[in-house]
Amino acid sequence: MNQYFGEYHRNRVSTSAATVRRAFLNRHGLRFNQQPDYVIVEDYDLWLRIALNGGVFYFCPEILGDYVIADDNISSNLQKIRHNHLVLLRDHVFGWQRFEPDKEKLWREINATFLINESRAQFQRKQYRVGVNSLLRAFRSSALGSLKYIRAKTRRRRPVAQV
């Protein structure tokens, strides 16, 4: 699952820093999805469909550009980002992915991890009541998926003992 949706189910590829062979896009009929519910996340949708069609991604660790988030650009609209991100994930779970036959189970797990990450951000903004509500919704969506995700996250963060 993580190979397709990526860790945390978020876009980790910057459009301005990506190059894709035109022949690959044409061979698989891949283009940006310009539906209104894909505004802000159309690039993530494209990366997921590239991965689904066997595309290979390489990472260049050099910083080659900047992206500025300002009050007046579309990336500052957190509600729209959240809504469109969930639409994209749901569309891919139920419409595109082929690795998990139990699509409802996969959706519950992805929704749970999305809600856990959302609750973490809410706690960081000191929105405790909303954060607890998101966390409870995550466990209602998939208790086992939530526990597996939290366990995996805490395992990675354990400090190495100094000798």
pLDDT tens-place values along the chain, 163 residues long? 445 555 445 666 777 778 889 999 999 999 999 999 998 889 889 988 998 899 888 877 787 777 776 777 777 777 888 899 899 999 999 998 888 899 999 999 999 998 998 999 899 999 999 999 999 999 999 998 889 888 887 876 555 555 4
User: Nearest CA to 114 among 4, 29, 5?
Assistant: 5
Q: Are residues 71 and 120 in the same domain?
A: no
Q: Cα dihedral angle (72, 76, 78, 81), rounded to 10 degrees?
A: 100
d(CA 73, CA 29): 30
Q: Are residues 62 and 25 in the same domain?
A: yes
Answer whether residue 143 is part of any domain. Answer: yes
> Which pLDDT score is estimated for 108?
93
> Which pLDDT score is estimated for 8?
44
Number of domains in the chain: 2
d(CA 27, CA 135): 42
Q: Are residues 2 and 71 in the same domain?
A: yes
Answer whether residue 88 is part of any domain. Answer: no
52: domain range? 1-6+15-81
Q: Are residues 21 and 74 in the same domain?
A: yes
Q: Are residues 48 and 123 in the same domain?
A: no
Q: Are residues 72 and 109 in the same domain?
A: no
Answer whether residue 122 is part of any domain. Answer: yes
User: Nearest CA to 13 among 43, 53, 34?
Assistant: 43
Q: Are residues 105 and 63 in the same domain?
A: no
> Which pLDDT score is estimated for 163?
45
Answer whether residue 92 is part of any domain. Answer: no
Contact 42, 34 (CB under 8 A): yes
Answer whether residue 69 is part of any domain. Answer: yes
